[in-house]
Amino acid sequence: MIVLTTFDLDEYAFGALRAGASAFLVKTATHQELVDAVRVVARGDAIVTPRITRQLIDAYTGRDQPVPGGQGLSVLSPRERDVFNAIALGLSNGEISQALHLSPATVKTHINRIFAKLGVRDRVQAVILAHQLG
């Protein structure tokens, strides 16, 4: 499987690789890079965007590896904490948008930042972390 995305975010890359992707490229990849990725995956090898390669090496060697919630909620802004609490209550993006008087796009932005800051990859992990942190 080859993943081509507009987002150059670690959590998306790691999630795609965990889900079985053999290639992770961003939309800025050239035509030739896409063709090369298809050939690489077809012969059973793997390829990822260079920046993600650095992150994979760091994660594998234990350097700069985020621990979910390792710094607690102190890394979140007050508004991000509000959104995090709403996620913990099981609210959808639309419900968070209405409850906090934010646009849906702003809610998505906050959620992406929260996930990155806390080292979680999805809402399920965020809810589990919220309950662990009380």
Per-residue pLDDT of the chain (134 residues; tens, 9 = 90+): 877 776 655 566 667 777 777 777 777 778 888 888 888 778 777 777 766 666 666 665 555 444 455 566 788 899 999 999 998 888 889 999 999 999 999 999 999 999 888 888 888 888 888 877 77
Given this model, what pLDDT does residue 130 score? 82
Tell me: domain 2-61, CATH 1.20.120.350, correct? no
- Residue 128 CA to residue 80 CA, distance in Å, equals 17
Q: What are phi and psi of 131, to 5 degrees?
A: -70, -35
Given this model, what pLDDT does residue 65 score? 45
pTM over 0.95: no
Domains of the chain, by residue range, sit at 2-61, 72-133
Per CATH, which fold does 72-133 belong to?
Arc Repressor Mutant, subunit A (1.10.10)
